Amino acid sequence: SQRSDDPAVQTSSNSQQRSSSTHSSVKKKGVKDFELGKTLGEGSYSTVVAARDRTTGREYAIKILDKKHIIKEKKVKYVNIEKNTLNKMNHPGIVRLYFTFQDHNSLCILLYHAKNGELLTFIKKLGSFDLNCTRYYTSQILAAIEYMHDQGVIHRDLKPENILLDEKMHIKVTDFGTAKILGKNVAGETDDRANSFVGTAEYVSPELLKEKAACKSSDFWALGCILYQLIAGRPPFKGGNEYMTFQKIVHLDYTFPEGFPPVAKDLVKKLLVLNPAERLGAGGKEGVKQLKSHPFFDGVRWDTLWQQPAPRLL
Ligand code: ATP
């Protein structure tokens, strides 16, 4: 028998919804309809593999989750959050969910395959990005945040590992497992995660550490951390352990390396502000407008951001 929190419960309606809206296939697809390729990565509860639709030849990434393991570890809710938030998203800067299906043992999420992998890999490889590349990637991340916030979704775990790159080297934000839908969570229940730590130590906002509450502005804190990291090559707050990292965050204990471009420094300082209400970008549409008008973004063509070729990474 099926538990009410079994991922199975929400799967079929989702897949039907997606397949009718995006793919004209009448028959519901299963894992057998795909030729599986190489493993793209492993998560704590999932394996992501490259896949090709045997009929259309289209390429995807399939995230395969072991149902028993998810239920045992009480992660059903998070899987549903990821599935339901991603299912709402339709934006060039966010990984697309096409549909979900399952068999007896696993739940499969068919995703856009971001062929160039994680932004983190490129930061590590290059050490850091120049100002022009940093501006380009920061703009794309900001545009994706603006979109998800407009949809009422806070990501809460933005970091270079969760920012994937497609073959054009444009970003695709992923990992919505810790996202939050404003007002209520996607299952329509009161969110009970406010008291538990979500996110990654280095990018977590001070309000989450102190108030145990994240807001839209928390994603702008993470944006400030990522912008800093693209230029400095390392995140602004990093202690010897999680506790020490948290101490640095709540005391705003960070410094800029020499040669950090002043215009980027000014933006980082306005994003890494302890009070979320005073952070640049806070305050709804007007706040985002102000953030996008910061001199760091001078020259950015927001209207054609996704048509422009990515700058060569330097
Ligand atoms: P955890 O669940 O432990 O937080 P995770 O979120 O990284 O880890 P997955 O979502 O299963 O776990 O992803 C595993 C890896 O697969 C990722 O690190 C990423 O590099 C790769 N990956 C995930 N989705 C895609 C995708 N759509 N395209 C290309 N690579 C992907």
Tally of CB atoms within 10 A around 195: 7
The protein residue whose alpha carbon is closest to atom 31 in ligand 1 is 40
> Which sign, positive or negative, has the C-alpha torsion 46, 89, 11, 52?
negative
Q: What is the DSSP letter of 20?
A: H
Instruction: Report the separation in Å between the CA atom of 258 and the middle of ligand 1, taken as the mean of its atom positions.
Output: 34
Candidates 95, 143, 296, 137; CA nearest to 226 is 137
Would you state the pLDDT for residue 200?
83
Would you state the pLDDT for residue 197?
58
For residue 154, give the 3-state DSSP assignment.
Answer: strand
Find out whether 75 and 127 touch, Cβ atoms under 8 Å: no
The protein residue whose alpha carbon is closest to atom 9 in ligand 1 is 43
Provide the whole-model pTM: 0.89
How big is the CA angle at 14 (ends 84 and 217), to the nearest 5 degrees? 15
For residue 204, give the 3-state DSSP assignment.
Answer: coil
Structure-token match 């209520």, residue found:
184
Pocket of ligand 1 (CB under 6 A): 40-46, 48, 61, 63, 95, 111-114, 117-118, 164, 174-175
Tally of CB atoms within 10 A around 250: 14
Find out whether 7 and 69 touch, Cβ atoms under 8 Å: no
Would you state the pLDDT for residue 190?
44
Would you state the pLDDT for residue 12?
38
The ligand 1 atom at the shortest distance from the C-alpha of residue 174 is 24
Counting beta carbons within 10 angstroms of the beta carbon of residue 290, is it exposed (0 to 12), middle (13 to 18) or buried (19 or more)?
middle
How big is the CA angle at 183 (ends 179 and 188), to the nearest 5 degrees? 80
Would you state the pLDDT for residue 212?
85
Find out whether 222 and 254 touch, Cβ atoms under 8 Å: no
Question: What are residue 56's phi and psi, to 5 degrees?
Answer: -95, -15
The ligand 1 atom at the shortest distance from the C-alpha of residue 175 is 6
Q: What are the CB-based long-range contacts (under 8 Å, 24+) for 44-52? A: 45/69, 45/70, 45/73, 45/75, 45/79, 48/111, 50/113, 51/110, 51/113
Instruction: Report the separation in Å between the CA atom of 41 and the middle of ligand 1, taken as the mean of its atom positions.
Output: 6
Alpha helices in the chain (DSSP H): 8-22, 67-72, 76-88, 119-126, 131-150, 206-210, 216-232, 242-250, 262-271, 284-292
Would you state the pLDDT for residue 28?
77
Would you state the pLDDT for residue 10?
39
The protein residue whose alpha carbon is closest to atom 17 in ligand 1 is 41
DSSP codes of every residue in 45-57: SEEEEEEEETTT-
CA distances to 38, 94, 270 from 300, rounded to whole Å, are: 37, 20, 19
Structure-token match 């068919």, residue found:
110
Name the amino acid, one letter, at 293: S
Enter the ipTM.
0.97
Instruction: Report the separation in Å between the CA atom of 75 and the middle of ligand 1, taken as the mean of its atom positions.
Output: 16
Would you state the pLDDT for residue 198?
62
Would you state the pLDDT for residue 6?
33
Q: What is the pLDDT along the chain (314 residues), one digit of tens a residue?
A: 232 333 333 343 344 444 444 444 456 788 899 999 999 999 988 999 999 999 999 999 999 999 999 999 999 999 999 999 999 999 999 999 999 999 899 999 999 999 999 999 999 999 999 999 999 999 999 999 999 999 999 999 999 999 999 999 999 999 999 898 886 544 554 443 434 556 689 999 999 999 888 899 999 999 999 999 999 999 999 999 999 999 999 999 999 999 999 999 999 999 999 999 999 999 999 999 999 999 999 999 999 999 999 999 97
Top mutation candidate among 155, 163, 165, 174 for ligand 1, by most atoms within 8 Å of CB: 174
Top mutation candidate among 38, 46, 48 for ligand 1, by most atoms within 8 Å of CB: 48
Find out whether 7 and 68 touch, Cβ atoms under 8 Å: no
CA distance 252 to 268: 12
Instruction: Report the separation in Å between the CA atom of 254 and the middle of ligand 1, taken as the mean of its atom positions.
Output: 29
Would you state the pLDDT for residue 27?
67
The set of catalytic residues is 157
Find out whether 172 and 89 touch, Cβ atoms under 8 Å: no
Find out whether 272 and 224 touch, Cβ atoms under 8 Å: yes
